[in-house]
Amino acid sequence: MSVSSSLITGSRRGDILLLLAFAAIIVGVAPWLPVYYSITAFELTLTRIETDGVRTQVPLPPELDFDSYWNRTPDDLLPRIEKSFRSSVARETVAHYELTVDYSFNSAALDQQITWQAP
């Protein structure tokens, strides 16, 4: 005895296609569903370096006003920070700036460091 009931689209083929379309949404969205599974913790320090070598720690400009965490890996984060840093100091003609990023992936230790100078 068949247990099939009325269909949604009026045809079995149409129902299966619709079902597959919804299943494709489930599969397509799946990579965006994980939450709170990784974190890159970081802190930024900006230093102004005068032509005579005097170094002064300065406040971060708005372009570098990031939250102190990133939900993905440092490989995703660091290029964004570097790009923002270089654009924020691009117009400076006298001094240099140095940005230090202390960071750690899936740890609160901040035990890794990278430094850029610009312009």
Q: CB-wise, 29 or 54, nearer to other proteins?
A: 29
Please give the residues from 77 up to 96 whose contact with other proteins meets the rule CB under 8 A. Answer: none
Q: What's the CA gap between 93 and 119, in Å, rounded?
A: 8
Residue 20's CB is within 10 A of a number of other CB atoms, namely: 10
Shortest Å distance, C-beta 13 to other proteins: 12
Which residue is listed with tokens 């993905």?
Answer: 72
**Helix (H), strand (E) at residue 80:** helix 74-88
Q: What's the CA gap between 65 and 81, in Å, rounded?
A: 10
Under rule CB under 8 A, residue 5 binds other proteins? yes
Token readout for 11 is 């045809």
Please give the residues from 11 up to 30 whose contact with other proteins meets the rule CB under 8 A. Answer: 12, 15, 18-19, 22-23, 25-27, 29-30
Under rule CB under 8 A, residue 32 binds other proteins? yes
Residues in the site for other proteins, rule: CB under 8 A? 1-8, 12, 15, 18-19, 22-23, 25-27, 29-39, 41, 67-69, 104-108
